[in-house]
Amino acid sequence: MKVIKNGIVFKDGRWLKDVDVLVDGNIIKDLLDGADNVDAEVIDANGGFVCPGFINLHIHGAMGYDVMDGTEDAIKEIAKFSAEHGTTSFLPTTTTGSIGRTRKSLEMIKNVMKGKYEGAQILGVHLEGPFINREYKGAQMEEHIQRPSIDNYLNLTHGFEDIVKHITVAPEVEGAEELIKYLKDKGITVSMGHTGADYDTCMKAFEWGVSHVTHCYNGMVSLHHRNPGVIGAAFDREGITVELITDLIHIHPAMLRLAIKAKGAGGTAIVTDSMAATGLGDGQYLLGEKQVWVKDGIARIEEGNLAGSTLTHDGALRNIVDIGMSLEDGITMLSTTPAKVIGVDDHKGNIEKGYDADIVILDRDLKVDKVLVQGDLI
Ligand SMILES: [Zn+2]
Q: Where are the domains of the chain?
A: 2-50+364-377, 54-346
Ligand 1 center from residue 59 Cα (angstroms): 7
Contact 310, 294 (CB under 8 A): yes
Domain 2-50+364-377 and domain 54-346, same fold? Reply is: no
Tell me the β-bridge partners of 87: 54
Report the alpha-carbon distance of residue 127 to residue 122 in Å, rounded.
14
pLDDT, one tens digit per residue, over 258-275 is: 999 999 999 999 999 999
> Is residue 329 among the annotated active site residues?
no
How far, in Å, is the centroid of ligand 1 from the Cα of 127?
Answer: 9
Element (H, E) at 232: helix 229-236
The single-letter DSSP state of residue 334 is: I
**Band (35; pLDDT cuts 50, 70, 90):** low
- Percent of the chain clearing pLDDT 90 (strictly above): 94
Give me the amino acid identity at 116: K
Spacing, Cα 252 to ligand 1 middle (Å): 18
**What's residue 290's pLDDT?**
86
Average pLDDT, the chain: 96
Averaged pLDDT, 49-54: 98
Residue 359 has pLDDT above 90, yes or no: yes
Is 353 in a helix, a strand, or coil? coil
Residues in the chain, how many? 378
The answer to whether residue 38 scores a pLDDT higher than 90 is no
Distance 290 CA to ligand 1 centre (A): 12
Burial 271-297 (b: 16+ CB within 10 A, else e): bbbbbbbbbeeeeebbbbebebbbeee
Ligand 1 center–CA 128 separation, angstroms: 6
DSSP state of 306: B
Question: Which entry of 273, 314, 356, 358 is annotated as an active-site residue?
Answer: 273
- Determine the straight-line distance between the first and last CA of the chain, rounded to whole angstroms: 16
Tell me the CA–centroid distance for residue 54 and ligand 1, in Å. Answer: 18
Query: 61 CA to middle of ligand 1, Å?
Result: 10
What is the reported pLDDT for 61?
Answer: 97
Report the pLDDT averaged over residues 121-128. Answer: 98
| C-alpha–C-alpha distance, residues 38 and 128, integer Å | 46
Q: Phi first, then psi: give them for residue 189, nearest 5 degrees.
A: -75, 125
Q: Answer whether residue 36 shows pLDDT above 80.
A: no
| CA 19 – CA 291 distance, rounded (Å) | 49
Q: Separation of 120 CA from ligand 1 center, angstroms?
A: 19
Average pLDDT of the residues in 72-96: 98
Radius of gyration of the chain (CA): 20
* Mean pLDDT of all residues in 188-205: 98
Residue range 346-354: average pLDDT?
A: 98
- The CATH architecture of the domain made up of 54-346 is Alpha-Beta Barrel (3.20)
To the nearest 10°, the Cα dihedral for 267, 256, 217, 332?
-30
CA 58–ligand 1 middle distance (angstroms): 6
Q: Quick: pLDDT tens for 206-229.
A: 999 999 999 999 999 999 999 999
Helix (H, G, I), strand (E, B) or coil at 142: helix
Cα four-point dihedral sign 64, 68, 74, 80? positive
Which CATH number applies to 2-50+364-377: 3.30.390.30, 2.40.50.100, 2.30.40.10, 3.90.180.10?
Answer: 2.30.40.10
| Å from CA of 246 to ligand 1 middle | 13
Instruction: Please report the pLDDT score of residue 285 as a whole number.
Output: 92
Proportion of the chain above pLDDT 70, given as a percent = 100
Q: Which residues contact 104 (CB under 8 A, 6 or more apart)?
A: 70
